[in-house]
Amino acid sequence: MDLLNNVSTNETDECEKELQMDDVYKLGLVFAYGVVGILSLFGNAIVLLMVVCRREMRTATNIFISSVSAADLVITLFSLWATPFSYYQRTWLFGEGMCYFVYMIQGASLMWAPLALAAIAVDRYMLVANPFRKQLSPLNCLLIICSVWAAGFVILSPMMTHLSYVEFELPCDKAYCIEYWKPREYRLFYGIFVFLVHSFIPLIIISWCHYRIASILSSQNSKLQKNRSKSTYGVALDISRKQRLQKLLLAMVLIFAVSSLPMDVFNVYQDIELIHNFRWLSEDVSHMLFYFSHLLAMAGTLLNPLVYAWWNENFRRQIKSIFKELRGIREPPFKTSIYEKQSRFSLRNPEALTAEQQIVLQCADGEDPSNDVQI
């Protein structure tokens, strides 16, 4: 995990000057980081506050998604500005305390999002595979989230034990926040371990869970198509809702994969380059790849709340309701269709279903739809 360690790729063997780059390129980076930072702060804060303040939004999936927004919010606050600025200045200007604090919070928060997405995928698969399983309570969700956060700090601990704040008064008069690994090969081993835990393993778990979910929903939808009747309309709505929810979660996973993998691969490449003292890429290309991969990773923190708001009808309705309340307009109560009512009755009373309907209902997730997100 070398996001900040890039401030000195030769580990302070010589004094390094700030990066030389074209003014237009520099202004473009400042503008891009500024836009991503502002929108990410605004978007993730809205998602987080919406789940915390609106009782009807506190479903298991929404609580997990809010934990992803919390992680993205922390990344935006600490990584978005500290990492590119330190990389450009080739030094650490924020003092010893901030060196350890930023490294710790940034590194742990980078672990929270993929682990939370994996937890969401496992939870959804278990609910779809076993629809009458008792749903997770908000307290249980919070316990899982706390476990995910604790796991992030545990994974980060080897790096923190090798982190050092170093000051050179002469001839450089510079300070560095870097990792010292002896032997150096251990740093590469740890970097590969972080890549596996941060990207590879979560993506394998998530991909398998969503493949199984898609298979189950497709199977139940096929059975439903063979016997269309009014009694199955409510179940059809549940199938459609679960399919839309799966598309939302898959979109979030795709955003994570596309935004995180380039940065992870670049970090491993830099570890190999540092240990073996050679360069495959020119310095200018390396700098461009760093800023591209890091900006892409930061853009991922912005896209998650945008995708969530786009796909989630209930979320959009809540946002409109808040703005209307601020303008003094009373929102009329949301009307529930007869088929949604029938679906809710069926989910609450599984013993009242026919044998055929119980087969179709295997796609349901076991949550109370009156509190679920209608997307």
**Per-residue model confidence as pLDDT tens digits over 235-276:** 666 667 677 777 777 787 788 888 888 888 888 888 887 777
**Per-residue model confidence as pLDDT tens digits over 33-55:** 999 999 999 888 988 888 888 88
Q: Is 20 helix (H, G, I), strand (E, B) or coil?
A: coil
Predicted confidence band at 217 (pLDDT cuts at 50, 70, 90)?
Answer: confident
286: number of Cβ within 10 Å? 17
**Structure confidence at residue 369 (pLDDT):** 39
107: number of Cβ within 10 Å? 24
Predicted confidence band at 201 (pLDDT cuts at 50, 70, 90)?
Answer: very high
Q: Which residue has the tokens 């700030």?
A: 18
Q: What is the DSSP letter of 55?
A: G
**Structure confidence at residue 83 (pLDDT):** 83
pLDDT of residue 12 exceeding 50, the answer is: no
pLDDT of residue 211 exceeding 90, the answer is: no
**Per-residue model confidence as pLDDT tens digits over 74-111:** 888 888 888 888 888 788 888 888 899 988 888 888 88
The answer to whether the bond into 114 is cis (omega within 30° of 0) is no
pTM of the model as a whole: 0.73
Domains of the chain, start order: 5-363 (1.20.1070.10)
**Structure confidence at residue 35 (pLDDT):** 93
Q: Find how far residue 137's CA is from the centre of its chain.
A: 22
Burial of residue 253 (CB within 10 Å: 0-12, 13-18, 19+) is buried
Q: What percent of the chain has a predicted confidence (pLDDT) above 90?
A: 11
Task: Give the helix, strand, coil percentages of the chain, each rounded to 5.
Answer: 75, 5, 20
Average pLDDT over residues 173-186: 85
**Structure confidence at residue 196 (pLDDT):** 92
**Structure confidence at residue 347 (pLDDT):** 42
DSSP states along 291-342: HHHHHHHHHHHHHHHHHHHHH-HHHHHHHHHHHHHHTTPPPPPPPPPHHHHH
**Structure confidence at residue 106 (pLDDT):** 84
* CA-closest candidate to residue 305, choices 119, 75, 118: 75
* CA-closest candidate to residue 202, choices 159, 145, 147, 260: 260
Average pLDDT over residues 338-364: 43
**Structure confidence at residue 151 (pLDDT):** 92
**Structure confidence at residue 31 (pLDDT):** 93
Q: How far apart are the first and last CA of the chain?
A: 37
Structure tokens at 177: 């926040």
**Structure confidence at residue 87 (pLDDT):** 81
Between the CA of residue 254 and those of 89, 207, 218, 249, what are the distances in Å?
A: 33, 10, 21, 9
330: number of Cβ within 10 Å? 8
Four-residue CA torsion sign, 314, 109, 111, 154: negative
Bigger pLDDT: 186 or 344?
186
Q: What percent of the chain has a predicted confidence (pLDDT) above 70?
A: 75
Residues with Cβ within 8 Å of 217's Cβ and at least 6 positions away in sequence, in order, are 128, 239, 242, 243, 246, 363
Instruction: Find out whether 197 and 343 touch, Cβ atoms under 8 Å.
Output: no
